[in-house]
Every structure is written in structure tokens, then in C-alpha cells.
Amino acid sequence: MELEIFNMDGKKTSKKVKLDAEVFGMEPNDHAIYLDVKQYHANNRQGTHKSKERAEIAGSTKKLKKQKGTGGARVGSAKSPLLHGGGRVFGPRPKDWSFKLNKKLKKVARKSALSYKAKDNGITILDSLNFSAPKTKDFINLLKNFELSGKKVLVVVPTLDENLYLSSRNLAKTQVRVAKDLNTYDIMNSQRILFTAGAIEAVQENLKN
């Protein structure tokens, strides 16, 4: 598959880039995508939720009333989970939700996601992305040139440019990623991916077997 290369004004150049069928034209593996996205969400969970159980509540352990003869149920200390201010029964504890996946499976997942985007014409190639100063307005104009205003856009570059990052970070639906950090969730979560020519080469080199 060959795609035309555009400049930042949204106009076609005379250049084209050939997408490697091994990376952008494979038969997608939906289960690999599912596992990789599941891992992405699991690894981002803090797992720091915690409530105090009976043994961790500060207070007296004195028995509140005598065991028998009151006509009511027996009651222990003020730490009892049945009383207001008592401990919680089987409350949440800190937990590590992360899990591991094989590198080969993660690579298959990324190639599958990119193949879906290529099939749906969701990839645009730019010759370069150069911002002389960090201005959000300039990045908004770039999106307008490609009719992407208000859409989820993933921008992939070979190396991180500070002006590009600062120009886009205030836009909620825009993500900038370095080619080596490209992940399956960001690919599937975007409506359009803007690659620079250098980023396409880096991605294809990283994902080839």
C-alpha cells in the first residue's frame, strides 16, 4: 500500500511512502488487541484504595455492655463493624493489578491495530512537523488543514519535539507519541493517526519480525 505525503498546509507533495504489508497489512488478531488494551488499563490502575478493618481502628476495646440480660444482641467493642465508626468487613486493600504479556503478542497487537487503521483510511503521512514556537493556535490550524478539529488525533513522531508537545498538550483529544512508545490503546482510541515520514520508518523497523 502506498500513501501520499502531505505538508503541514494539508496539500499533497510529490512524494509517496510505501507501507510494509507485514506491519500495516496483516490479518488483525482481535484477541491480541484485547489483551494488550486490557494490560494497558490494568497497569495504569494505582491500586492504592484502602479501608480500615476492625484491628486497625483507633479506640478502646472495652466491652460496651454486659453480655446477657439486656434483652438485645450482644455487643463487643466500639470497633465492631456493626457500629458507626467501626471497622469495615473485608474492605479493599492495596493491590497490584498489573500483569505481563509476551513481547511477540504485544507486537502482534500493535500491528493488528495499525492494520485496522490502514484498512479504514485512518492514517495520514506528513513530510515533517516543525513548530518554530510553542503555540496551541498553530497546532489547531494544522488540525483544521486536515479537517480534524474536534476529533481524536494521534500524532506520531520519530523523536519528541518540545515545541510540538507544548503546542498540543492543552488539546484534550490530541496525543503526541514517539514512534518507539506507540501502544495499541492509543492506536485504537484515535480516529486519525498523523505520522511523519520519519516516524513511519521507525515504526516499521520496530515492528518487523
Do you know the residue count of the chain? Answer: 209
* Domains of the chain by residue range: 2-46+100-207, 51-91
Amino acid (one-letter) located at 4: E
Confidence (pTM): 0.83
pLDDT exceeds 90 at position 209: no
Average pLDDT over residues 50-72: 92
d(CA 143, CA 10): 9
Instruction: For domain 2-46+100-207, give its CATH number from 3.30.70.380, 3.40.1370.10, 3.20.20.70, 3.10.50.30.
Output: 3.40.1370.10
Give the pLDDT confidence score for residue 1 in this predicted structure. Answer: 79
Q: What is the mean pLDDT of residues 146-168?
A: 92
Give me the sheet containing 153-157, strands edge to edge.
Answer: 12-18, 2-6, 123-126, 192-196, 153-157, 174-178
> Would you place residue 124 in the very low, low, confident or very high pLDDT band (cuts 50, 70, 90)?
very high
